[in-house]
Amino acid sequence: MTSYDQARQFGKVYVGALNTGDEAFAALFAPAADVRVGGVPAHPAQVREVTPPGRSAFRGARMRDDGSFAVVVRVRDATSVEDREHLLRLDDHGRIVRLSV
């Protein structure tokens, strides 16, 4: 089970990798991770498409009752600012095994 402090620290790394590049972001995932964007199975690179690099910022972490956690990502564009929850579950090695955006 992930603690709040672990979730918060991972969230910072997660958003940093989102802003860095596909390779850095993909390195956060366990093999065969379940990734979903809008409820549809996706590839980690598709997460970066809906959470644009350079326009995303870490806004915190929230624990969930099932042992997973949400990383709150603030996305800015020319006319708006929106906070989005990325729901994550990590394996024992600290890699993402489930992500839903």
Total domain count, the chain: 1
Please report the pLDDT score of residue 1 as a whole number. 63
Task: Specify the pLDDT at position 78.
Answer: 79
Stated pTM of the model: 0.91
- For position 80, which CATH number holds? 3.10.450.50
Percent of the chain with pLDDT over 70: 99
Range of the domain at 57: 4-100
The CA-atom distances, in angstroms, between 29 and each of 25, 42, 80 are 8, 13, 30
Determine the pLDDT at residue 79: 87
- Residue 94 dihedral angles phi and psi, to the nearest 5°: 80, 20
